[in-house]
Amino acid sequence: MKRLMVLPLLALAMAPAAAQETVVCDFEAMALGDTLPMSNLYNGYDTDSRAEVVADPANPQNKVLHVTNKSWNTLIEIDLGPLASENITESYRQLAFDLYRPASDGAYKQFVARLGADTIYADAGFYDQGQAEAWVQKAYFMSRADAPADKLYMGFNSEDADFYVDNIRLVAVDNGYDFTDEKQTLRHHAQLAGKNIGVAVPVWRIDVGNDNLEATQTVFRNFNMVVAENEMKPDALQPSRGQFNFGDGDRLCDFAERHGMAVRGHTLVWHNQAPAWITSDGYKNDHNYTRAELLEIMREHITAVVGHYKGRVSEWDVVNEVLDDDQSIIRTNPLGYKLRESVWQKVIGDDYIDSAFVYAHRADPDARLYINDYGVEFQGKAKTQAYYNLVRRLLDDGLPVGGVGFQCHLTVGEADSAKFSSNVKRYGALGVKCAITELDMSMPDPYAAGAEEQQAEEYAKMAKVMMNYGHCESVVVWGVTDDMSWRQGNPLLFRSTLEAKPAFFALRDVLKEAAENEASGIGAAVVQGDGSPFVDVYDLSGRPVAKGMLRSRVADLPRGIYIAGGKCVVVK
């Protein structure tokens, strides 16, 4: 098949399982200028709306369908031909196609598809359909239709849409693993290792109230920790002062409790996604609040939110992204740091962070309280050192900081496990926990040969560091499937079809190894040691058993008690 149709085949060649696809229409057999009917759900055919075969705006050698919508509930009508004799939802799970939007077209659209009279997909809202002026792949799980039909209807609800579609196809997906077998899941091995493997869930897209949906099952079978992607941020929880919207957060907590999952709260104080009644952009004090007034606003929000979720949310990102990106202060003051000049910092002062932790601790003394930031993962960077300085200052002043979060929004090629390890290690001496809180790994070219394998390798590098330290308990991936990510470059563990990517299996291998080490009595201190990958092993009489043994292979020794790296080790 032409153009983007090659891309899934490349991806499938690298995946452990295949997705069978049947092309419904790629428009190559049609003539330029040919049209398809535009059917209105209520009023027959809409002659003002148009679906015309034209040259591909990105590659004129290809033919695509140019659609201009002029009325709501108007969809492209496609003759199913030989497929009309079967109920396609019995053989296929997804409707997929390629989408191109001009820059002038609105990003937020509601996709709808029908098979005859049966609606097989309808977005619950108007969602961002992805990058403009580039072909993007779309895939939607179809609801079951009652019977065969000779027509497929699909498109976007809009009265002024302008878009192109191509390569309309039906997909029968094999996820590459069996999530009903717990030993094939991430969660099984993480729990055996005594770690949390978490995921950010877009509650507005994944129905956490319906455990029968495959996307929902993918979450609770693979992860033992969840965090709301957006629904527990300040603007979502308190859109108007004193008016709280706990519905989505409550649904996520209900879901977690049904499945024995921990819940992270994200986030209490942030310059971004602050409600407009506080600030228009996170920096301006548009409403001329005094220090006392803004402190009271912060106290009210934290007290209400943490109090509402007390006993249900085990840990909170109390403050998020508080550091300025420019930390040149480190050159002249090695113990210094510079805070971001947000509305919180400018109106209240640097000690707004102190107050936030105090308020959160008062509201729920049992919750672990985190500070969270980006660009602070790798030793040797000024911002990394500034983050450490800030955490140490807060602890020295007696603030109840229990955890340090590293967002880890990375691009393939950036993961440096040695620098990350040396950075994480020093927080153990401060007595705080460490967590990867928002891991994703974008690929510059997702379809280049070897790109997914490199992505998998770097996922494994970062996760392995967390497995090697006792004070590192959690790895949270920021999203479920690539099409739900806020980033380009297919950065997550699952494709839009819910197929597990190589990164899934690489992460599972890391968790499995950690679980095996835990079961063998090989603690994190032995596995990590002084950072060297090798260790000398002796029996209890002091006789050498192995010189320069890989730490990861200590668990393979015969059952017994050994001294490895100066630590007593029991191999069971």
**Gap between the Cα atoms of 114 and 25, Å rounded:** 16
- Quick check: 127 and 191 in contact, CB under 8 A? no
Which residues, other chains included, contact 396 with Cβ-Cβ below 8 Å and sequence gap of 6+? Answer: none
Region of residue 545 (phi > 0: left; psi between -120 and 50: alpha; otherwise: beta): alpha
- The C-alpha atoms of residue 380 and residue 420 are separated, in whole angstroms, by 10
DSSP letter at 71?
A: S
Instruction: Give the integer Cα–Cα distance in Å for 168 and 463.
Output: 38
Determine which one of 21, 231, 321, 499 is catalytic: 321
Strand partners, 113: 121, 154
d(CA 436, CA 370): 11
Residue 440, helix vs strand vs coil: strand
Give 323's DSSP letter.
Answer: B
How far is it, in rounded angstroms, from Cα 307 to Cα 529?
A: 40
Task: Pull the structure tokens for residue 473.
Answer: 């308990």
Cis amide prior to 267 (ω within 30 degrees): yes
The pair of three-digit structure tokens given for residue 467, joined into one six-digit string = 């497995």
Question: Cβ atoms within 10 A of the Cβ of 12, count?
Answer: 18
Residues pairing with 19 in the sheet: 173
Q: Tell which residue, 365, 347, 360, has the closest CA to residue 269.
A: 360
Cβ neighbours around 71 below 10 Å, total:
16
Asked if 321 is an active-site residue, the reply is: yes
What one-character DSSP code corresponds to residue 2?
-
Choose the catalytic residue: 229, 231, 377, 438.
Answer: 438
State the virtual CA torsion across 123, 126, 129, 131 in degrees, nearest 10: -170
Question: Is 159 among the residues known to form the active site?
Answer: no
- Positions annotated as catalytic residues are 321, 438
